[in-house]
Amino acid sequence: MFKTTLFPLALAAAVSVGAVTAHAENPMVGGAAMFEDKNIVENAVNSKDHTTLVAAVKAAGLVETLSGKGPFTVFAPINAAFDALPAGTVDTLLKPESKEQLTKIVTCHVVAADAMSSAIGKMIADDGGTHPVKTVGGCTLQAKMDGDKITLTDEAGGVATVTVADVKQSNGVIHVIDKVLLPKM
């Protein structure tokens, strides 16, 4: 009886450890585990550092899109990046009458590709130090290297740094950034 009881427990423990190990490659974001078998929205809602981004995605009506097949690369600004915008900006953008402008801003953080940092770095090197990145929102970001970090310059001249790269998702990848990317106004 001992063997028949112990073996299933040992097997369950091994499977459980294997599941944790499979997800160990993905970095934690906002204090939460990011799972490769979940989509961008499913993972983002668990990050305490991305509550403003999640609210913006919802207000822009993009939950279904970013939960879709993809692939997508999302440059995901942390809450502090939104907090750094002029006072009242986020509240104004989240209003229904600002949906078009909000959608433009959010989609300027999304690329219709699965671009890991190594691929972005190679494109930057191949292009002599700066690689143009076309977004779903019609913006063109300029990707560069700053030491071993990728930076993105938006159309307004703002520069965001990728602080956590290569967070794999079932429908693409998230790169956490420290600034909100803005379209040319």
pLDDT in tens, 81-110: 999 999 999 999 999 999 999 999 999 999
Mean pLDDT rounded to a whole number for the chain: 88
Domains of the chain with CATH codes: 31-177 (2.30.180.10)
Whether 144 and 125 have beta carbons less than 8 Å apart is answered as no
What is the spatial distance between Cα 103 and Cα 80, in angstroms, rounded to a whole number? 20
Backbone angles phi, psi at 141, to 5 degrees: -95, 150
**CA-CA-CA-CA dihedral for 155, 161, 167, 173, to nearest 10:** 10
Q: What's the pLDDT at 28? A: 83
What is the spatial distance between Cα 10 and Cα 33, in angstroms, rounded to a whole number? 25
Percent of the chain at pLDDT > 90 equals 81
- Contacting residues for 98 by C-beta, under 8 A, at least 6 apart: 92
What is the spatial distance between Cα 125 and Cα 150, in angstroms, rounded to a whole number? 12
Residue 115: pLDDT above 50? yes
In this prediction, residue 11 has a pLDDT band, given cuts at 50, 70 and 90, of very low
Token output for 14:
């091994």
pLDDT digit string, tens, across residues 20-40: 334 448 888 988 889 899 999
Token output for 104:
């433009």
Read off the pTM. 0.85
pLDDT digit string, tens, across residues 157-179: 999 999 999 999 999 999 999 99
| Residue 148: Cβ-neighbour burial (10 angstroms; 0-12, 13-18, 19+) | exposed
